[in-house]
């Protein structure tokens, strides 16, 4: 309920009326003793500030406060006619309201933004507003009082200027602090600012004590007005905003007070009007100078902060753009490398395809031509003695062609099929490979198999591809025996997630000049035997599929050792 009352429209009007009245009492308090001369009219500044803060809707509060003050004015009882008195009151009150509303309109138009007096142009616009709108209430008051005969035709010009100057000073002194305070966001003061504030206070106290020394006492009242200026500049440069405004308000009100008590540097005996004018000029000059300087310093500080923020943002943008360019360059490099690898792979595949077409057409036709020749020989031979020899030779050619076709199928399956993950028992897998290759030992020689398997845990890989590797390498060991019974040693050892596999034979071996070319499509290290040159190529391609490695060690006449390292296929 209490919060609702505080926020109500009626309460705002009462608050404005009270503020206007109390500020007028301050003006009366600062009036010259035993006179009606007011050096400053705070109500003009308070009315403008309240309309700017609360909006034009609170004009009734200004009207109420103005009516109360008019009743206390020195000329109120000098007007006998009630009608004339009401007309005068209406003109003066209306002019006061129009002045405040006009000032608010100009302020909204010229001093834009939520933080006034943060730019030098704001201060100049505000001073311009004060100088212009002060003529409204001044003109209305002089017009009404002159019409009522309160002031004579000889006094109205001087009265006009006096009322205008006091209104200007009242606006410049009291309006800025009321406008700025609601926009202030209080921050925790840092140690440097506290120390500087203490130094400022100490400096003020030191200057005051110095001017009170006996040799300087006769000039102290006249020098105070000038000594205050450096301290106001200090406030404007170092503290700015509210501190600077409070500073020049305090100095101005002190000198207004002492002048009203007929003392101080601005008091001129027997020249009351000149004394007030001199005081008003001083107050106006220090107020405007401090306000403009404080706004300019804030503007410069804000520009520095904006420039710093812009530099940080620019640096961040440069870093971001640089990173984007680096990523783009890296992407292009990766694409270029990928394209290069693709081109190399295409060239390789084209070369292999050419070789494949040639070799397949040759190797597929050769056994067929051999079989057809043997059939013709068998038909032309009338006896039965050579028939079995011809059949054996035809069988050999058919087996050769069958083996070659099997190699082609293995290569096709290896390139097309994805790698499977299945448990592998190397002991049974190696024996199965030997069993399938018994037909290769066509000479009838006995193959001595030495198998060693160290498999302490399950191993998962592609069983079919492992079998292709074993079949091709073991068949080469059998095919290229060295005139004696072949001895083939197969060792398999599971080490962590890797199988180390080696196949060693006592065959003919391979000349060193051929080792670097082994694994190329259709490459034969020797013309002996029935090999197609596809076996080790298939082994090499299969190893790549399994992401493993292969190494061949051989010495001509002393056998060959082929070693593999194949990682386990992960899930």
Question: Which H, E and C letters describe 475-530, residue by residue?
Answer: HHHHHCCCCCCCEEEEEEEEECCEEEEEEEECCCCCCHHHHCCCCCCCCCCCCCCC
Contacts of 380 (CB under 8 A, 6+ apart): none
User: How far apart, in whole angstroms, are the C-alpha atoms of residue 71 and residue 235?
Assistant: 40
User: How far apart, in whole angstroms, are the C-alpha atoms of residue 67 and residue 94?
Assistant: 10
To the nearest 10°, the Cα dihedral for 379, 384, 389, 393? 20
**Strand pairing report for 560-567 and 498-505:** antiparallel
Integer Rg of the chain from CA = 55
Residue 526: Cβ within 10 Å count: 11
Q: What is the pLDDT of residues 373-417, one digit of tens each?
A: 656 666 666 666 666 666 666 666 666 556 556 655 655 555 666
The fold of the 418-567 domain, in CATH, is Heat Shock Protein 90 (3.30.565)
User: How far apart, in whole angstroms, are the C-alpha atoms of residue 20 and residue 63?
Assistant: 9
User: How far apart, in whole angstroms, are the C-alpha atoms of residue 409 and residue 122?
Assistant: 89
Q: Which of 350, 478, 463 lies closest to 403, judged by CA?
A: 478
pTM: 0.57
Residue 409: Cβ within 10 Å count: 10
For helices 241-260 and 156-180, what crossing angle results, to 10°? 150
Contact between 423 and 460 (Cβ < 8 Å)? yes
- The length of the chain is 571
What is the full per-residue pLDDT of the chain (571 aa) written as tens digits? 334 444 566 788 888 899 999 998 888 888 876 556 788 999 999 999 999 988 888 899 999 988 888 877 766 667 777 888 888 888 989 999 999 999 999 998 888 766 788 888 888 999 999 999 999 999 988 888 888 877 777 778 888 888 899 999 999 999 998 988 887 776 676 677 667 667 767 766 666 665 566 665 566 667 777 777 887 787 777 777 788 888 888 888 888 888 877 777 777 776 667 788 888 888 899 888 888 888 888 888 888 888 888 888 888 888 888 888 888 898 888 888 888 888 887 887 766 665 555 455 545 555 665 666 656 666 666 666 666 666 666 666 666 556 556 655 655 555 666 777 889 898 988 888 887 775 444 445 678 888 899 989 989 988 878 888 888 888 888 877 776 778 889 999 998 888 999 998 888 877 777 666 665 655 555 655 555 566 677 788 888 888 889 888 888 878 888 898 989 888 6
Residue 468: Cβ within 10 Å count: 24
Using alpha carbons, list the distances in angstroms from residue 420 to 542, 546, 571: 13, 10, 10
In degrees, rounded to 5, the angle at the alpha carbon of residue 74 between the alpha carbons of residues 68 and 79 is 90
User: How far apart, in whole angstroms, are the C-alpha atoms of residue 463 and residue 355?
Assistant: 29
- Domains of the chain: which residue ranges? 2-185+219-313, 418-567
The partner residues of 551 in beta bridges, in order of sequence, read 563
* Residue/partner pairs of 402-411 with CB below 8 Å, 24 or more apart: 403/530, 403/532, 404/363, 404/364, 404/367, 404/532, 404/534, 405/364, 407/472, 407/532, 407/534, 407/535, 407/538, 408/360, 408/534, 410/468, 410/538, 411/534, 411/537, 411/538, 411/541
User: How far apart, in whole angstroms, are the C-alpha atoms of residue 544 and residue 522?
Assistant: 18
What the block records as the tokens of 229 is 């200026």
Under DSSP, the state recorded for 238 is: I
Residue with tokens 């602090």: 177
User: How far apart, in whole angstroms, are the C-alpha atoms of residue 404 and residue 475?
Assistant: 13
């Amino acid at each position: 309920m209490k919060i609702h009352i505080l926020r109500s429209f009626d309460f705002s009007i009462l608050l404005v009326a009270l503020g206007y009245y109390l500020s007028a009492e301050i003006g009366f308090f600062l009036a010259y003793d035993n006179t009606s001369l007011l050096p400053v009219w705070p109500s003009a500044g308070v009315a403008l500030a309240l309309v700017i803060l609360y909006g034009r809707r609170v004009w009734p509060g200004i009207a109420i406060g103005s009516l109360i003050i008019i009743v206390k004015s020195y000329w109120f009882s000098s007007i006998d006619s009630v009608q004339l008195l009401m007309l005068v009151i209406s003109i003066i009150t209306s002019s006061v309201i129009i002045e405040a509303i006009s000032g608010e309109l100009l302020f909204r138009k010229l001093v834009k933004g939520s933080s006034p007096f943060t730019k030098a142009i704001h201060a100049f616009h505000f001073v311009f507003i004060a100088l212009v709108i002060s003529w409204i209430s001044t003109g209305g008051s002089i017009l009404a009082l002159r019409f009522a005969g309160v002031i004579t035709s000889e006094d109205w010009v001087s009265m006009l200027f006096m009322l205008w100057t006091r209104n200007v000073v009242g606006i410049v002194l009291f309006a800025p602090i009321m406008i700025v305070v609601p926009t202030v966001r209080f921050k925790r003061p840092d140690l440097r600012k506290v120390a500087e504030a203490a130094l400022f206070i100490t400096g003020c106290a030191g200057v005051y004590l110095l001017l009170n020394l006996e040799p300087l006492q006769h000039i102290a009242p006249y020098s105070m007005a000038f000594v205050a200026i450096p301290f106001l500049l200090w406030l404007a440069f170092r503290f700015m905003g509210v501190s600077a405004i409070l500073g020049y308000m305090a100095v101005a009100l002190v000198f207004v007070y002492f002048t009203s008590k007929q003392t101080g540097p601005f008091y001129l005996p027997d020249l009351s009007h000149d004394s007030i004018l001199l005081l008003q000029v001083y107050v106006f000059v220090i107020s405007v100078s401090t306000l403009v300087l404080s706004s300019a310093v804030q503007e410069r500080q804000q520009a520095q902060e904006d420039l710093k923020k812009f530099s940080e943002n620019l640096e961040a943008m440069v870093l971001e753009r640089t990173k984007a360019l680096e990523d783009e360059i890296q992407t292009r490099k990766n694409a270029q490398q990928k394209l290069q690898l693709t081109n190399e792979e295409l060239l390789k595949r084209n070369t292999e395809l050419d070789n494949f077409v040639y070799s397949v057409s040759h190797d597929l036709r050769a056994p067929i031509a051999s079989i057809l020749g043997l059939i013709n020989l068998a038909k032309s031979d009338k006896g039965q003695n050579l028939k079995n020899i011809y059949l054996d030779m035809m069988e050999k050619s058919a087996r050769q062609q069958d083996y070659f076709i099997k190699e082609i199928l293995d290569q096709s399956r290896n390139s097309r099929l994805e790698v499977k993950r299945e448990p592998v028992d190397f002991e049974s897998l190696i024996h199965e490979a030997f069993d399938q290759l018994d037909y290769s030992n066509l000479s009838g020689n006995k193959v001595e198999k030495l198998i060693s398997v160290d498999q302490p845990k399950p191993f998962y890989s592609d069983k079919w591809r492992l079998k292709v590797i074993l079949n091709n390498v073991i068949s080469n060991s059998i095919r290229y025996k060295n005139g004696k019974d072949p001895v083939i040693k197969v060792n398999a050892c599971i080490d962590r997630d890797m199988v180390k596999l080696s196949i060693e034979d006592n065959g003919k071996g391979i000349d060193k000049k051929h080792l670097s070319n082994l694994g190329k499509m259709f490459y034969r290290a020797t013309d002996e035997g029935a090999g197609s040159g596809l076996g080790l190529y298939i082994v090499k391609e299969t190893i790549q599929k399994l992401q493993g490695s292969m190494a061949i060690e051989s010495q001509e006449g002393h056998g060959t050792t082929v070693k593999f390292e194949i990682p386990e296929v992960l899930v």
